[in-house]
Amino acid sequence: MNKKEPRISGYRFSAAAAGIKRAGTDRLDLGLIVSDSPASAAAITTTNLMFAAPVEITRERLASGACRAILINSGNANAYTGEQGRRDALDLTGELAEGLGIGADLVVPMSTGVIGLRLPVDRIREKLPQLQQGLDQGTFMDVAAAMMTTDTRPKTVLLGGVSSDGPFKMLGMAKGSGMIAPNMATMLAVILTDIRIEPNRLRECLVEANSRTFNCLTIDGDTSTNDTVIVMAGGGSEARELGGGRADRDAFSSLLNEACMSLARQIVLDGEGATKMVEVRVTGAPGPGAAAKVARTIAESPLVKTAFHGEDPNWGRILCSAGRAGVVFDPYNVDLFIGEVPIVKQGQVVSDDWESAAHRVMQGREFSIQLDLKAGDDEASFLTTDMSEEYVTINADYRS
């Protein structure tokens, strides 16, 4: 174990270069996380109809709420690979389980990368012994690096909380870049905590945290073939136990929320060609889901996103997007702010010098816009990026 790296007890890590991303290089593309004792676990996976083989296996295996190990590869998504893809993932996790001396059902696979190509099973198999041997030296930063695809940097977070049974830690790692929704870049996240919590409560907390964080990037129906968030709790034999009371539940939930939000923000900030992170906040929407619908329509509009890139306080594009979101409100009653700068108040463009002030806000690397529809109580936020020329260049590159 690298002594300098902040650590979380109860889990071990290892990574290897299996040549999945590119044969013959030493880029890490295989990662392993092992819990020293049976942990409870929960997952949220893609809603895409084209879910990958590892997603299917994750769903099946985590239904029990127990997990010991996660085998992660980048470079190949094992998606749209049919029965063969499923067999490959079952074989590899099975062999790994045997090596670790645990049940195969306690190992889940996560994959990200190219769609429609069979996993290079032999190259991965060859590396399994090295992966296991590396568990004593590996760090979670290695695993975070091994899961990267177009990411320009690993994304990790380590947080500490306090329960009635004492302090506990939470470690998160994730990969994902891409322009986020409506994009399909895969998002993988693993969150580990050293406190025990019963699987059903864990799942509840994850669903809640996910809806407030990752789902504000890649919301239902807008996910890739492989998107997966897994949380494992209580690894290690000395793990404390989360109490059943409200305060403990809140302490755990808020830490999980914080870990997810940190990873979500790191993903957005690493968006392909992104130079800005923008929070689109919609309030006063009529009825449940309406605010998210409007926020998402604004956040996904290429015209709005290019205006963000141009640092152009083009409120017309923002309101026009809102107007086509399929939500009923009175356009002549709304308030719009860019940062703290009021642009439209009760449907009237403010007469002050809003333009240069708003432009200054948009010159920042992070800012928010807020639209109050004044048509109800629903509210939602959506994180997005600007859209730059570089985004197009990255994604138009011919693969081969």
Residues between 267 and 296 that touch its own copies (CB under 8 A): none
Residue 179 DSSP class: T
Map residues 80-119 to x or -, x wherever contact with its own copies holds by CB under 8 A. x-x-------------------------------xxx---
Q: Which residues are tagged catalytic? A: 186
- Minimum distance from CB of 42 to its own copies (Å)? 23
For residue 384, state whether it binds its own copies (rule: CB under 8 A). Answer: no
- Minimum distance from CB of 365 to its own copies (Å)? 16
3-state secondary structure string, 65-121?
CEEEEEEEEEEECCCCCHHHHHHHHHHHHHHHHHHHCCCHHHEEEEEEEECCCCCCH
Q: Report the DSSP beta bridge partners of residue 70.
A: 33, 108
Among 3, 26, 326, 353, binds its own copies (CB under 8 A): 326
Stretch that binds its own copies, among 21-29, 74-82, 167-175, 209-217 (CB under 8 A): 74-82
- Minimum distance from CB of 85 to its own copies (Å)? 11
For residue 57, state whether it binds its own copies (rule: CB under 8 A). Answer: no
| 47-57 exposure pattern, b = at least 16 Cβ within 10 A, e = fewer | ebeebbbbbeb
Among 129, 244, 287, 302, binds its own copies (CB under 8 A): 302
Within 8 A by CB and 6+ apart from 169, the residues are 8, 9, 158, 159, 160, 161, 193, 194
Per rule CB under 8 A, count of chain residues that contact its own copies: 65
Report the alpha-carbon distance of residue 219 to residue 177 in Å, rounded. 15
Binding-site ranges for its own copies (CB under 8 A): 47-50, 79-80, 82, 114-116, 178-179, 182-185, 221-225, 300-303, 306-307, 309-312, 314-317, 319-326, 328-329, 331-332, 347-349, 355, 359, 386-389, 391-393, 395-400
